[in-house]
Amino acid sequence: MASEVSPPLGLCMLAAHVRRAGHSVRILDLDLEDKPAPSPAAYLDTFANAVRDERPAIVGFTSMFNNSLHAERLIGTAKRLDDRVVTVAGGSHFGALPRRSLERIPQLDFVVRGEGEAAFASLLDALEAGKPTESIPGLCQRTSDGIVENPAGPLLDLALVPPAWSALASTIDLARYAATIPAGDRGRAIYTEAGRGCPFSCSFCATAPFWNRRYRVRPAESIVAEMRELYEMHGYDTFMLVHDLLTADKRFVDGLCDAAFEANLPVEWTANHRADIELGELAGKMRRSGCTSVFMGIESASERIQAEVRKGLTRDEITSTVRTLHDVGITSTCSFIIGFPSESTRDLSATLALACELKMLGAEPVQFHRLRMWPPAPLTTLGLAAAFDPDALRLEYPAAEIPAGDFAIIEADPAFFAGYFTTHSTAGTAYQLAQLELFFSRAVATVPLTAGALAAMYGDGVVRAFYRALDAHGPLGREDLDSTVKVLAHLVPFLRGWIERDENLADWQRELVAGVLEYERTRGHFIADGDVDAADIIAAGARWGVFGTTVDLGEVLDRLSSGAPLTAELVRDRCIALSRGTGGAVRGFVVSAAAAARLRDGDRSLAAVLDDDRTGG
Amino acid sequence: MNAAQSVIGYVPDAVAKELQQSGKIGTDTIEMPLQPGKQAALLRVRHADVAELRLGPSRDGHTSVQLVLNPGAKYEFVHTTSADFTTLNDPGLAYFPNPGAVAIFIRPKYTLSGDKKFREVTETR
């Protein structure tokens, strides 16, 4: 089944800008065009047909690190079809590596560095008027003196930038994008530009230096006006406000909330936040104005690593912020990076424990990402030894067949394909870290209690324990873990083997983790297919089931949430009920022994309680 | 127009009628179900924290009630459950989330008058 395609915000911002400067624009989004039938070469045919039909004078290309090889092939195709076509590239990859891009791709005529709107519009003006291009700020080009990189011009005043979607109503067909949203999804979501630039200096971050670390925002009224138009004209009701760190200016966010109040639209919005920015009462105001979720880069639980990468978050700030946001009804998406150069297995174990704790506090989802070398991040300028990581390529294209030749092309040019290279880390080999990222991403999402119990029991040794389990089991395949049912089918045997084999666990620890894992396996199947697949089924109805467990799950949950230690007396028999509401939401209950006995005997009044959507709280 | 925080619940029609007349439910604290006729989830708020009251439509013997709260008002969502079942707050389940609060933007229909009763507001322009 085709997955959702989001309209290309950056490209549309650029198109809106040059259109206002008087140029005609056509956007070809190959992600959308080839979505129904993706194949390794389909995008090239689609592009070639468009060039033949449209006969453009200038073709611009944007790509992120993960599709720059595809972009390179498109540039070659454009020139091959018509060598008079002027080719221009920009965006986060080409714009960060302008000189290397021109050196590598002979068919590429110009590269726009950094922020693209003004430079691209000036280039189009000059080409149309037949004027020289050498002095255009932010442009990189070949000259008789070799490749010349002009310094970037001033950053745009975002108050003057036209809203992308409004300006492009006749150019981009939002209905085609909306049609890719899977049936049954709750709402229609769309990326909307709120501004650019983060003032912080995290050494792994490529976007903050890309925007010169200058915090800029569009006027709040303009953002809300665009939300209104998208809601009223196209039915979008969730706005993912794009900004590196919107909450860096709390006064602006306060004004944005006021503008949203004034508009009084039944819509939701999300934004980026930092865990050490204290929102105080603004958190509640954000929620009331429609904010439902914020993204936060947590990166690491180790304060040493936090200091080393110039992020500087503390554990208390992180947990307190997730808790505060959850209390007002805002969900935190928490992202971690694994594989920092000096990271130890102890550091990484602490990170995994924190990730599990945040999940227990309501963070959703919890993400893990490998450290990547993305220019112009400061880390990429330190000359750190890095190696091609084929797994990074597979991570970008988990469901696509990658031609073998692509691996060789990428490996041969680390300066251009830096995003597929990883630095050496003392936390593990590239293989170990890739497997750890894969395993814990899925485990924290689908069996969070088991992951949390393991992290709590092993303490700073959970990473080493995972590596031992990995050695004994062999690698997990990404394709084996791309759905909940597959995750359960592959992760549960892996975890069972881990628990059974590891001699470092006491018997009660083994029993406790096994009991928690068995509950989570049962819960996973119940959520996926509605069946209670447990060894000890006590009673079952059309939408519920009651079964026995060997651990006190209620107490395990309380202790994992509060950081209290897990102890042997938690291995004791309990009864659990899972019930599916009419809306599909699944609820879980600890059932008293007396109630379990009555349910076993067919007590209808208790069964009716489990059938009631509102039971529990 | 100012932003106000409000909460919505349901009371039996007879209680709604009394409420409209007296402006009060109970003595000091209002407790009203979040779903018509269901006691499992209740909203609890002190009278002193209620700035305005609006009555909505009635259905199946229950009337919707919207309480517009004073700035900084405290309110609680109370979840009741059978003693036989204790909710598992398992993050792997879609457990009852914190509902947050809703913001509404209205011109007042009822407001608390000097005698501590809700009076209908006559809008003048």
Q: Are residues A219 and A349 in the same domain?
A: yes
CA distance, residue B115 to nearest chain A CA (Å): 31
Q: What is the DSSP letter of A239?
A: E
CA distance, residue B37 to nearest chain A CA (Å): 11
Residue A158: inside a domain, yes or no? no
C-beta of residue B38 within 8 angstroms of C-beta of residue A614: yes
Q: Give CA–CA dist A33/A24, Å, rounded.
A: 21
Identify the burial level of A135 via C-beta atoms within 10 angstroms of its C-beta, where 0-12 means exposed, 13-18 middle and 19 or more buried: exposed
pLDDT of residue B2: 60
**A200 — pLDDT class (breaks 50, 70, 90):** very high
A313-369 tens-digit pLDDT: 999 999 999 999 998 999 999 999 999 999 999 999 999 999 999 999 999 999 999
Residue B1 pLDDT greater than 60, yes or no? no
Average pLDDT over residues A162-180: 80
Domain count, chain A: 5
Q: Give CA–CA dist A269/A194, Å, rounded.
A: 11
Q: A-chain residues within 8 Å CB-CB of B87?
A: 587-589, 616-617
pLDDT of residue B125: 32
Residue A170: inside a domain, yes or no? no
CA distance, residue A470 to nearest chain B CA (Å): 25
Which three-class secondary structure state does DSSP give residue A258?
A: helix
Q: Are residues A133 and A63 in the same domain?
A: yes
Residues 241-280 of chain A with CB under 8 A from chain B are 258, 261-262, 264
Lowest mean pLDDT among A55-59, A210-214, A356-360, A545-549: A210-214
- Domain residue ranges in chain B: 4-80+95-113
Q: Give CA–CA dist B125/B113, Å, rounded.
A: 20
CA distance, residue B12 to nearest chain A CA (Å): 18
CA distance, residue B76 to nearest chain A CA (Å): 12
Q: Give CA–CA dist A297/A20, Å, rounded.
A: 36
Contact A444/B at CB under 8 A: no
Average pLDDT over residues A34-41: 63
Q: B-chain residues within 8 Å CB-CB of A586?
A: 93-94
Place of tokens 């469901």: A399
Range of the domain at A543: 531-611
Residues 30-89 of chain B with CB under 8 A from chain A are 35, 38, 40-41, 78-89
Residues 491-530 of chain A with CB under 8 A from chain B are 520, 523-524, 527
CA distance, residue B31 to nearest chain A CA (Å): 16
Residue A309: inside a domain, yes or no? yes
Residue A464: inside a domain, yes or no? yes
Question: Which comes out higher in pLDDT, residue A64 or A470?
Answer: A470
Question: Residue A103, Cα to own-chain centre: how many angstroms?
Answer: 32
Q: Are residues A106 and A59 in the same domain?
A: yes
Contact A612/B at CB under 8 A: yes
Q: Give CA–CA dist A453/A571, Å, rounded.
A: 13
- Which range scores top for mean pLDDT: A411-420, A494-503, B69-78? A494-503
pLDDT of residue A273: 98
Lowest mean pLDDT among A16-25, A380-389, B34-43: B34-43
pLDDT of residue B7: 84
Lowest mean pLDDT among A41-45, A427-431, A591-595: A41-45
Residue A398 pLDDT greater than 90, yes or no? no
Residue A161: inside a domain, yes or no? no
pLDDT of residue A534: 84
pLDDT of residue A117: 93
**A591 — pLDDT class (breaks 50, 70, 90):** very high
Q: Give CA–CA dist A262/A104, Å, rounded.
A: 52
Q: Are residues A482 and A353 in the same domain?
A: no
Residues 6 or more apart whose Cβ sits within 8 Å of residue B51: B4, B68, B69, B70, B73, B108, B111, B112
Residue A335: inside a domain, yes or no? yes
Among chain A residues, the shortest Cα distance to B7 is held by: A288
Q: Give CA–CA dist A532/A242, Å, rounded.
A: 42
Q: What is the DSSP letter of A568?
A: G
Q: Are residues A190 and A272 in the same domain?
A: yes
State chain A's maximal CA–CA distance in angstroms.
Answer: 91
**B111 — pLDDT class (breaks 50, 70, 90):** low
A and B: number of Cβ contacts within 8 A: 121
Which three-class secondary structure state does DSSP give residue A428?
A: strand
Q: Are residues A34 and A70 in the same domain?
A: yes
**A39 — pLDDT class (breaks 50, 70, 90):** low
Q: Are residues A456 and A566 in the same domain?
A: no
Q: Are residues A117 and A19 in the same domain?
A: yes
Identify the burial level of A290 via C-beta atoms within 10 angstroms of its C-beta, where 0-12 means exposed, 13-18 middle and 19 or more buried: buried
Lowest mean pLDDT among A218-222, A331-335, A394-398, B72-76: A394-398
Is the bond preceding A199 in cis, omega lying within 30 degrees of 0? no
Q: Are residues A433 and A368 in the same domain?
A: no
Question: Given the DSSP bridges, would you call strands A268-273 and A291-299 parallel, antiparallel or unpaired?
Answer: parallel
Q: Which of B82, B95, B105 to mutate to test the interface with A (most CBs of A within 10 A)?
A: B82
User: CB A328 to CB B100 under 8 A?
Assistant: yes
Contact A288/B at CB under 8 A: yes
Residues 170-209 of chain A with CB under 8 A from chain B are none
Q: Round the average pLDDT of chain B to a whole number and report it.
A: 72
Q: B-chain residues within 8 Å CB-CB of A527?
A: 92-93
Which three-class secondary structure state does DSSP give residue A162?
A: coil
pLDDT of residue A79: 96
Residue A66: inside a domain, yes or no? yes
pLDDT of residue B21: 76
Residue A548: CB atoms within 10 Å: 15
Question: Which comes out higher in pLDDT, residue A263 or A346?
Answer: A346
A94-137 tens-digit pLDDT: 999 999 999 999 999 999 998 999 999 999 999 999 999 999 99
Among chain B residues, the shortest Cα distance to A259 is held by: B3
CA distance, residue B104 to nearest chain A CA (Å): 7
Residue A390 pLDDT greater than 50, yes or no? yes
Lowest mean pLDDT among A22-31, A116-125, A425-434, B110-119: B110-119
Residue B124 pLDDT greater than 70, yes or no? no
Residues 351-410 of chain A with CB under 8 A from chain B are 359-360, 362, 364
B88 vs A287, A588, A594: nearest CB = A588
A420-450 tens-digit pLDDT: 888 899 999 989 999 999 999 999 999 999 9
Average pLDDT over residues A217-224: 96
Q: Give CA–CA dist A214/A218, Å, rounded.
A: 13
Which is nearest to A111 in space by CA: A157, A159, A147, A76?
Answer: A147
Instruction: Identify the CATH number of the domain in which residue A110 sits.
Output: 3.40.50.280
Q: Give CA–CA dist A503/A284, Å, rounded.
A: 48
Q: What is the DSSP letter of A477?
A: P
Residue A593: in which H helix or E strand, if any?
helix A593-600
A448-491 tens-digit pLDDT: 999 999 999 999 999 999 999 999 999 998 878 877 788 889 99
Q: What is the DSSP letter of A425?
A: B
Lowest mean pLDDT among A80-89, A147-156, A183-192, A371-380: A183-192
Q: Computed from CA positions of residues A37, A43, A44, A47, in that sequence, does the dihedral angle turn out positive or negative? A: positive
Average pLDDT over residues A563-580: 94
Is the bond preceding A163 in cis, omega lying within 30 degrees of 0? no
Residue B101 pLDDT greater than 60, yes or no? no
Which three-class secondary structure state does DSSP give residue A488?
A: helix
User: CB B81 to CB A615 under 8 A?
Assistant: yes
Q: A-chain residues within 8 Å CB-CB of B98?
A: 326-329, 362
Q: Are residues A579 and A454 in the same domain?
A: no
Q: What are phi and psi of A271, to 5 degrees?
A: -155, 175
Average pLDDT over residues A4-21: 88
Q: What are phi and psi of A159, to 5 degrees?
A: -65, -20
**A176 — pLDDT class (breaks 50, 70, 90):** confident
- Which range scores top for mean pLDDT: A156-165, A295-304, B88-97? A295-304
Residue A160 pLDDT greater than 70, yes or no? yes
Whole-model pTM?
0.85
CA distances to A489, A536, A544, B28 from A527, rounded to whole Å, are: 14, 18, 11, 43
Residue A514: inside a domain, yes or no? no
